[in-house]
Amino acid sequence: MHEMSIALEVCRIAEEQVGTDTLPAVRAVGLEVGEQAGIEIGSLVFCLETLLGAPPFTGAAPVIERCPGDVLRVSYLEVEDGRPDD
């Protein structure tokens, strides 16, 4: 099940981008997953929900967008910055 290794790498990328002090403020992790990427979406969602639901992330939601091709990329990180929504 390579979806777990993908989910672990997504979490590593999130941690690298926002820093360990900000991890509890990550609210969503957006991914683009190609239809030919060879990834079982249900398994990836399960792995991400498990990892993102535990410390240090504490509840970030995976948001997966299907797209053509074999792409797999972290498209965005939604972080709570304490400011009111624009």
- For the chain, which residues make up each domain, given as ranges? 2-79
- Per CATH, domain 2-79 is 3.30.2320.50: yes
Start-to-end CA span in the chain (Å) = 40
Give the integer Cα–Cα distance in Å for 37 and 28: 22
Q: Quick one: CA torsion of 83, 65, 50, 55, rounded to 10 degrees?
A: -20
- Check whether 16 has a pLDDT greater than 80: yes
pTM: predicted TM-score of the whole model, two decimal places = 0.87
Residue 76 C-alpha from the chain's centroid? 8
Tens-place pLDDT, residues 21-61: 777 888 999 999 999 999 999 999 999 999 999 888 888 99
Give residue for tokens 């929504």: 85
pLDDT at 28: 95
Residue 50 C-alpha from the chain's centroid? 11
